[in-house]
Amino acid sequence: MSAVNTARRVRIAIWIFLAAIVGAGLIWYAVLVANKPAPAAPVVAADAQLVREDSHRVTSPASEKAQLVEFLDFECESCRAAEPLLAELKKEYGDRITFIHRYYPLPGHRNSGTAAVAVEAAAQQGKYEEMAAKLFETQPQWGERQDSQAALFRTYAQELGLDLAKYDNAVLDQATKDRINQDVADGRALGVTGTPTFFLNGKKLTLNTEAQFRQLLDEAIR
């Protein structure tokens, strides 16, 4: 047998060997893919609710014709910017529409969760709206800070005349945090991804102008 034929047979044998390895690998990959479990579907809270019994209603119409639910973050600049308009709308429509606030502190805001806890602690002493307004008013002073603003929020509680012992206990109480977390869980299940997010009579709104907002409210109360 010539040296050329021998080399040719060796090359052929090597290629057959490599092809067998590749083929076995492809078969093994196919088996793995076939038996790989499908990605789990997103879990949606079965009991998700847009409005709960303990949700904060900031207007109380004698004859309710609609509900406007806002998921908000007290460190959110857009939420703060929307406050003057919402104050006008509450005056104009508050006798027919129930305005409802729900907590939705965003993870990218260092003190949004702390702010929500402070507001909820104040709410337990009947000062929800006062503390919420205070935090939006002073947001430029504490927003975007990377250190905890809990001590500052406590001074606001003192300015509002709250019982500080009760306030401190509420801030530390896990039930206060659970109350906020329930709002967040409901919001996520309902498709909330940012703030402020509004729902009018159960329908998530996409708002572009003030005029559009008013038109939707007018239609809801007809």
Closest of 130, 116, 122, 110 to residue 162, by C-alpha = 122
Q: pLDDT value at position 8?
A: 55
How crowded is the C-beta side of 192, counted as CA atoms within 13 Å? Answer: 28
* Amino acid 176: pLDDT: 98
Three-state DSSP class for 153?
helix
Position 11 scores a pLDDT of 54
Contact 178, 50 (CB under 8 A): no
Q: Which pair of tokens denotes residue 64?
A: 């309710």
CA 52, CA 122: separation in Å to the nearest integer? 19
State pLDDT tens for residues 121-133: 999 999 999 999 9
- Which pair of structure tokens corresponds to residue 126? 């009947």
Interatomic CA distance for residues 176 and 173, integer angstroms? 6
Which stretches of the chain drop beneath a pLDDT of 70? 1-46
| pLDDT the model gives residue 206 | 93
pLDDT of residue 47: 79
